[in-house]
Structure 1
């Protein structure tokens, strides 16, 4: 991926210098969908960074002034032109608008550079911050899936199913507020 700069951020491929930043937010995932990514050592972080550095579908979000990794954006392409998108940010940097700023630039990249026609994101029904973020980005709530997926278990070992919203945005909708 080509590097993208916003006012305060750099979006780029992961690099070996990102291990500490990745460990900071993957050591204690706050959203169940990231439990499989949980790591506890710098060595595990380095291995994940290595894999992500070779995969353009993972985008590092870094502060422009220090280069410090504060989160990531990611996508999964579904042929021919639909992309599932997501994000994961370090809680220490919440409430400063970094997620909105980076994802706005990410949407432009997906729509203009990669030719996406449709983007969608899944958000758990108790993840209010991401729901509000989707709405600020102009995404519409398309669906609500009851007991959609299980990322964790109850104490007795039975699966705990998550209720999940789906938000989506078409390129033609995005272009109304973001003319090229």
Structure 2
């Protein structure tokens, strides 16, 4: 993927200079599913940027005006034409429409340029912001998985399992949603 521009944002591959911005949003994960990505030093951010640069399923989300990285989008292909999607943004940029603006561009890219037929996202039941984003993107709740996956432990050391929604969107639904 090259670069995608929206009104206020640029979606692009990661660059070396993204490490400080990445540290800002990966140092304090807002939801448990990103605990594995948690970093605490600039050195760790530099290493993580190198991994993201080599993995084309991740896109840096930057403010167009300043080039400041504020988060990331990611997608994973399930053959032959289905993609899992997700996002992670710095808390300071919540509530400004950046996640929606960038996710809409990602959906368009996957449906139009990558030939996606179906997209889906997993969202923990306590992640209200991502649930709302999925719904605003035209995605529908497709399932609810009790104690689906574990990212952390309880105070007693036992695994803490997350209840998780699955949202999905077909290309024909996306086309209908965007023709309104």
TM-score clears 0.5: yes
Q: Which residue of 2 aligns with 1:88?
A: 88
Say which SS state the counterpart of residue 55 (structure 2) adopts. Answer: coil
* Unaligned residue ranges in structure 1 (runs of 5+): none
User: Residue by residue, what CA displacement relative to the aligned partner does 1:19-78 show, whole Å, maximum 9, x if unpaired?
Assistant: 011000100101000000000000100011011012210000000000000000001110
C-alpha deviation, 1:105, in angstroms? 0.3
Matches within 5 A, 1:27-106: 27-106=27-106
Query: In 2, distance between residues paired with 1:147 and 1:55?
Result: 29
How far apart are residue 178 of structure 1 and its match? 2.6
In the alignment, is residue 25 of structure 1 matched against residue 25 of structure 2?
A: yes
Q: Residue 162 of structure 2 aligns with which residue?
A: 162
Q: Quote how far apart the aligned CAs of 1:177 are.
A: 2.5
User: Which runs of at least 4 in structure 1 moved beyond 3 Å after TM superposition?
Assistant: none
Equivalences, count: 179
Matched with 2:133 is: 133
| TM norm structure 1 | 0.98
CA distance in 1, matches of 2:60, 2:110: 15
Is the deviation greater in 51-60 or in 140-149?
51-60
Provide, for residues 102-122 of structure 1, a one-character-per-residue CA deviation record: whole Å limited to 9, x for no partner. Answer: 000000001111111000000
Partners of 1:177 and 1:126 lie apart in 2 by: 26
> Structure 2-normalised TM-score?
0.98
Deviation at 1:155, TM superposition (A): 1.2
What's the secondary structure of 1:176's corresponding residue? Answer: helix
CA distance in 2, matches of 1:177, 1:135: 11
